[in-house]
Amino acid sequence: MRKAGNVPADERHRAQLQRQSLLSVVPGQAHGADLRKHHRPRATSRRAAATLGPHLPLRVARSARLRCPATEAAAKKFGVDGLDKEHTGNTIGDLRALRLDAVLAHDPRLPLPDWLTQYERFEEARSAELEIYSQIAQRVDELSDGREQEKARHLVRLLRKHDLVIAFDSCPLTLHVLRDRLAEHEDVQVLVATGGNRAAQRAVQRAFELGSDTRRAIALCSNALAEGVNLQQASALVHLDMPSVVRIAEQRVGRVDRMDSPWEVIESWWPRDAPEFALVADERLGARLELVGDLLGANVQLPTAPEQIVQPEVVIQELQRQESIQVNLLDDAFAPVRAFLEGPGQLISAETYLKLRRSEAKIVSAVATVRAARAWGFFAVQGSLRNAPRWVFVEGASGRVSAAIDQVAESLRASLAGCEDIELDQRAEKVLQGLVDQLENGAGLLLPRRKQRALAQLKSVLESYEQEAIERAEGDRLRVVQELRAMASDSAIDHDDLAEAWFAAIRSRWRELLAAQTKKRRRRALRLDNLTVELQRNPLSKDVLDRLREKVKFATPLAERIVAAIIGVPG
């Protein structure tokens, strides 16, 4: 069977893409001799994109023909409803509406094709391209839905072994088609989550979060859910399409393969498709160049003919190689911790460690006290839903709190040198309480760096808001701002939640800044600090600040989250 989208590149101009690309070169005539060099890879790459572009969605499923007719028409054809409006595409309609507004001035250094310099040739090229895309759509109509049916059957078979199954596909329309195929199984709960439906995303998170009691459920997800969510109650994941870059594969698998997963083994299923639909090497290269172009800007010439098929083993091996690199980096990060258990400087024997590790005894907290020259404390703090467990070291004299694991390990090792065990008496308890108070005051250091920066920004912005409210005699606003400032410095407040609430409050401003940057065609990384001036120049409304205040919660006292401690008692 011939690939439905594999019409030779020289039969297709992909006029819309190529003309847009070449027009962006024309103003750059100051490039001089470099203009021709700049033009050549753009023209060739657009020709390659015309070959690869239609094939990418076609290999996902028959339903993904949305790139040829409009999405709404494709959805109607396959009886799909509930599709997000943002997932639209109408290549044929766009080509019909395309017009050559003006004949481009011919420059000898810029060898433009005649269909970009002559109205008649442009119309001929556009008509020919319309005919080719119409043929592609017609051939796709002739394909059976056997691939979709087998995918649905495979997902149901997995429920014999797994309570929860997650399936990813880059094409939202395909997910909705599969949802309808699975509807005949009345005992199976099917959830669909794509980028434009926040309510559906939250439903998947609730059903698949750690500890969920949901059973016999399948989540059909687009790549919008491939990052930023924890779905580790699932024990099986299916790639309905082959990820074109390893980053996407890592993100998908990372939703279920987490440190606190309740499963010893997690199954990850990969597609081994027929040659007509399989991922080819040039598509992987094209996806990578697209990513690089989005981030840095690219000037790389794409190949013009897809040939070598990428087998699942290739992607899996690359994924495992990346995981191995990450494990090695993680090993390096935890080397100071391992040194307590092994090597010439070990402090705990392997026998003692294994005995404690295998113990089933339930210990609320454990405190050891040693005689020391100064007061110090080592604390193991329990994790939360958002944050991992932490080691913390507190210097009694200075009140300095260290949370970096290498610094904590180094301070603990140095402080234990020459110490002897003592009983936990009243004096030791007093030292312990003082150290815990100091730890409470430095609790912000236990937050991720990003949230520490967010809280610093919050305090800075609120300070300017307070001064402005005083100058304008805005009593109600001043009261809200002062309450928020007090909360931001109160150790009893859940600063993790406060940082999340702050992110939610400024998200719309962040998007506006991103949109403005995109409109100006600037390519620079946006940092949280870039938004501070904007928030001070155009303050958030009192309603937004009120909602922020309402979201603030009290935290579980840090003392109640300490599961183990070693306290140095002077004297």
CATH top-level class for 146-271? alpha beta
Report the pLDDT value the prediction gives residue 470, as an integer from 0 to 100. 94
CA 370, 376, 379 angle in degrees (round to 5)?
A: 90
Report the pLDDT value the prediction gives residue 82, as an integer from 0 to 100. 58
What is the enclosing helix (H) or strand (E) of 489?
none
Stronger pLDDT, 363 or 472, i.e. the higher one: 472
Report the pLDDT value the prediction gives residue 370, as an integer from 0 to 100. 93
Q: Sheet harboring 420-422: ordered strands across?
A: 401-402, 390-395, 376-381, 562-570, 366-372, 420-422
Report the pLDDT value the prediction gives residue 479, as an integer from 0 to 100. 93
pTM here is: 0.49
The lowest-confidence range among 114-123, 177-186, 279-288, 365-374 is: 279-288
The mean pLDDT value for 197-211 works out to: 91
Of 245, 240, 193, 246, residue with least CA distance to 61: 240
Q: Residue 534: pLDDT above 50?
A: yes
Q: How far apart are CA 321 and CA 312, in angstroms?
A: 14
Q: Would you say the C-alpha torsion 544, 546, 547, 553 has a positive or negative sign?
A: positive
Please give the mean pLDDT across all residues of the chain: 75
Report the pLDDT value the prediction gives residue 372, as an integer from 0 to 100. 92
Q: How far apart are CA 115 and CA 124, in angstroms?
A: 8
Tens of pLDDT, residue by residue over 15-49, are: 433 333 333 333 333 334 444 544 554 555 455 45
Q: Residue 116: pLDDT above 60?
A: yes
84 close to 196: Cβ distance less than 8 angstroms: yes
Tens of pLDDT, residue by residue over 439-476, are: 888 878 778 888 888 899 999 999 999 999 999 999 99
The lowest-confidence range among 128-132, 208-212, 525-529 is: 525-529
Report the pLDDT value the prediction gives residue 261, as an integer from 0 to 100. 85
Q: What are phi and psi of 178, to 5 degrees?
A: -65, -35
pLDDT band at 203 (very low <50, low <70, confident <90, very high): very high
Report the pLDDT value the prediction gives residue 110, as an integer from 0 to 100. 60
Report the pLDDT value the prediction gives residue 73, as an integer from 0 to 100. 54
* HEC letters along 460-517: HHHHHHHHHHHHHCCHHHHHHHHHHHHHHCCCCECHHHHHHHHHHHHHHHHHHHHHHH
In the chain, CATH 3.40.50.300 sits at 146-271
Q: How far apart are CA 57 and CA 302, in angstroms?
A: 18
Strands 390-395, 189-193: pairing is: unpaired
Residue 34's identity, in one-letter code, is D
In this structure, what DSSP letter does residue 30 have?
Answer: G
402 close to 349: Cβ distance less than 8 angstroms: no
The lowest-confidence range among 222-236, 361-375, 455-469 is: 361-375
Of 291, 276, 201, 205, residue with least CA distance to 246: 291
Report the pLDDT value the prediction gives residue 64, as an integer from 0 to 100. 47
What's the N-to-C CA distance of the chain in angstroms? Answer: 85
The lowest-confidence range among 141-155, 188-202, 504-518 is: 504-518
Tens of pLDDT, residue by residue over 160-169, are: 999 999 999 9
Reduce the DSSP state of residue 571 to 3 states and report it.
Answer: coil
